[in-house]
Amino acid sequence: MANQDIHDVLTIFRPVYDHTNRVDGYISLEVSPLLADETEKTTAEARQLWAHLNQPNLFIKIPATAQGLAAIEACIAEGINVNVTLIFSLEAYEHVVLAYLRGLEKLAERGQKPLSQVASVTSFFVSRVDTLVDSLLDEKITATSNPAQKHHLERLRGKAAIANAKLAYQMYRSYFVEGPKAERFKTLQAQGAQVQRPLWASTSTKNPAYRDVMYVEELIGPNTVNTMPPATIAAFQDHGRVALTLEQGVDAAQQVMEDLREVGIEMRQVTNRLETDGVALFKTAFEDVLQHLDDKRRTLAEEQAAQGNSTAAQAAISSGHSRGIAGAESKQ
């Protein structure tokens, strides 16, 4: 069912892909999240989905778990487009970037497919970071009786997610745009390679006290994607402000991270927990869908069987009634 839906939408968006010269018009299909901790099975399912749909504007979505990194590299090396999902930390993001570069280098060595035909995005989850960090800050606010400390903690609420994303974008620039690290990609770019674009996911505002478009307005910059739910799109169309904001306030973003560390909130622990919870949520959602489909299948099968039995019974009654009439007529 998913394959058919994705196939239909790939066809609809193919003109966008062609018109933008392979920049936009992509659709993502994820491998089973139940395989998130199994490299070989993830890679095998990615290959199977890619071959089955056989469309150049398809992204195979693979989580950025430790086991997923090797699968990401293998897929890129085979010319399979990858949407790397469930990225929360700068450390995980850097590992993903390096996996992409290694994959491109292997693809270039094999010479089986032009580098220009391979694309990848890195889905960095945003608002979930604030949800967890804010809850940890609230615990500390409740626990302190110091007014100055309470005020300091309150000022940090709603700041971690955007700061984290802005620092991630600086890392993107260091690997793909300018600086000593970017030389590795420049060699690949000369052969047609595309940058691996950062994608901001989970950008709806969970806390009603915050501006409803804050995760859109503050994360606008070149070569980025923002996947917004319909309500956020409508809100941004209504009152969103457009400006190049991603590279503004980078020093302030770094200061937010230092302030969080000083008050006892380690971002690595936060992001590790978010990754673990994220994989678990993906698995639960996937299993729920399968269970609902199986329940529906069983219900339909039972209804069909009952209808079949009813039809058979009616046919038998009708047949018996006909034989009775025929017998009576023969006696007459």
Divide the 332 residues of the chain into consecutive groups of 10 and give the mean pLDDT of each group.
92 97 94 86 96 97 93 97 95 97 97 94 94 95 94 96 97 96 97 97 93 96 95 97 96 97 93 82 80 89 83 65 47 41
Helix axes 127-143, 147-155, angle to 10 degrees: 180
Q: Note if 61 is an active site residue.
A: yes
332 DSSP 8-state letter: -
How would you classify residue 305: left for phi > 0, otherwise alpha for psi between -120 and 50, otherwise beta?
Answer: alpha
- pLDDT at residue number 328: 43
- pLDDT at residue number 152: 95
Sign of the Cα torsion 239, 243, 248, 254 reads positive
Do 90 and 166 form a contact (C-beta atoms < 8 A)?
no
Sequence-distant (6+) residues with CB within 8 A of 330 are none
- pLDDT at residue number 315: 67
- pLDDT at residue number 325: 42
The whole-angstrom separation of Cα 217 and Cα 200 is: 12
255 DSSP 8-state letter: H
Q: Which residue blocks in 144-229 are alpha helix, DSSP H?
A: 147-155, 160-176, 182-189, 214-217
Beta strands 82-87 and 120-125, pairing class: parallel
Residue 25, helix vs strand vs coil: coil
Token pair recorded at residue 85: 């999902």
Identify the active-site residue in 41, 61, 150, 166: 61
CA angle (285 as vertex; 137, 5 as ends), nearest 5? 125
- pLDDT at residue number 321: 55
| Residue listed under structure tokens 């933008």 | 20
Phi, psi of 263 (to 5 degrees): -90, 10
- pLDDT at residue number 319: 61
- pLDDT at residue number 316: 62
